[in-house]
Amino acid sequence: MEVVIVPDAEAGGELIASAIAGLLARKPDALLGVATGSTPLPIYQALAARVRANTLDASRARICQLDEYVGLPKGHPESYRSVVLREVVEPLGLTEASFIGPDGTAEDVAAASSDYDRALAAAGGVDLQLLGIGTDGHIGFNEPCSSLASRTRIKTLTQQTRVDNARFFDSLDEVPHHVITQGIGTILEARHLVLLATGEAKAEAVALSVEGPLSAMVPASALQLHPHATVVIDEAAASGL
Ligand code: GLP
């Protein structure tokens, strides 16, 4: 695992945007796995700025989702499908045709989960998967105790994660209890994993993931198993190392 400490979130966004630009130069139709939350926004802003300045051609890129809430109505502004369309797909000048994600509105969530694993494989696998990290060390929505070999499936959110994500909704009650998430085993199949963490609130989770033992109690520690994992952190998130 490579750990890169950057001065701030903006520098982290620029660094990772450069890595993605390099990937797209080598493989214009690369499948890019994106994460939601506030942390990766500087990456998407840096990529969109390059597209606007005509220094990056992302027109053949393909985008896929990491996780999704279960039960939000189609088109809900906080469904991760809507968030990724708004924050990544549209700013890069792409359309829904180049985007795949799990169906959080499906009646049969188990079938929707295995369908998504199959869709990722059929698309040739993820070339670069962006990850954030929860304050409890989760990646995607794989909460502590998730099997390190898990596949895409339904999970129940911890109260801590619901509280952390309540800022995107009008009230805590509106935050769904259930989600579909790529499993840790699914995530580990991506060819390159890039985790960005910024701010002191992530310092403990980062330290446990990078320097602690491999443990299902700290899902992000699974990055230790990956042959090509890059952890980009600002000085505040590095303060526990
Ligand atoms: C959610 C997402 C994760 C993300 C995490 C942290 O739980 N499912 O993919 O990493 O939030 O979000 P933030 O970057 O806003 O702290």
CB-based burial label for 178 (10 Å; 0-12, 13-18, 19+): middle
The residues near 202 (Cβ < 8 Å, ≥ 6 apart) are: 133, 135, 233, 236, 237
Q: List Cβ<8 Å contacts ≥24 apart for 157-160.
A: 160/134, 160/135, 160/136
Residue 113 host element (H or E)? helix 109-122
Residue type, 122: A
Ligand 1: does its nearest atom lie under 6 Å from the Cβ of 66? Answer: yes
Summarised one tens digit per residue, pLDDT across range 42-85 is: 999 999 999 999 999 999 999 999 999 999 999 999 999 999 99
Q: Does a structural domain hold residue 107?
A: yes
Q: Does a structural domain hold residue 163?
A: yes
Which residues constitute the domain of residue 151?
2-234
Ligand 1: does its nearest atom lie under 6 Å from the Cβ of 141? Answer: yes
Q: Whose CA is nearest to atom 12 of ligand 1?
A: 37
Q: Which sequence positions are flagged as catalytic?
A: 67, 136, 138, 143
Q: Does a structural domain hold residue 239?
A: no
46's tokens:
């840096």
Report how far ligand 1's centroid is from the alpha carbon of 156 (Å).
Answer: 15
Q: Does a structural domain hold residue 6?
A: yes
The distance of Cα 134 from the centroid of its chain, to the nearest Å, equals 11
- What is the ipTM for the molecules in this complex? 0.96
Q: Does a structural domain hold residue 241?
A: no
Task: Count the neighbouring beta carbons within 10 Å of the beta carbon of residue 171.
Answer: 7
Which numbered atom of ligand 1 lies nearest the CA of 199? 16
Q: Does a structural domain hold residue 70?
A: yes
Q: Does a structural domain hold residue 84?
A: yes
CA neighbours within 13 Å on the CB side: how many for 216? 8
Q: Does a structural domain hold residue 85?
A: yes
Report how far ligand 1's centroid is from the alpha carbon of 132 (Å).
Answer: 5
Average pLDDT over residues 102-112: 97
Ligand 1: does its nearest atom lie under 6 Å from the Cβ of 140? Answer: yes
Ligand 1: does its nearest atom lie under 6 Å from the Cβ of 36? Answer: yes
Summarised one tens digit per residue, pLDDT across range 214-241 is: 999 999 999 999 999 999 999 999 999 9
Q: What is the pLDDT of residue 108?
A: 97
Q: By percentage, how much of the chain surpasses pLDDT 90? A: 100
Which numbered atom of ligand 1 lies nearest the CA of 35? 9
Q: What is the pLDDT of residue 62?
A: 98
Tally of structural domains, the chain: 1
Judge if pTM exceeds 0.95: yes
Which numbered atom of ligand 1 lies nearest the CA of 140? 9
CATH label of the domain that carries residue 115: 3.40.50.1360
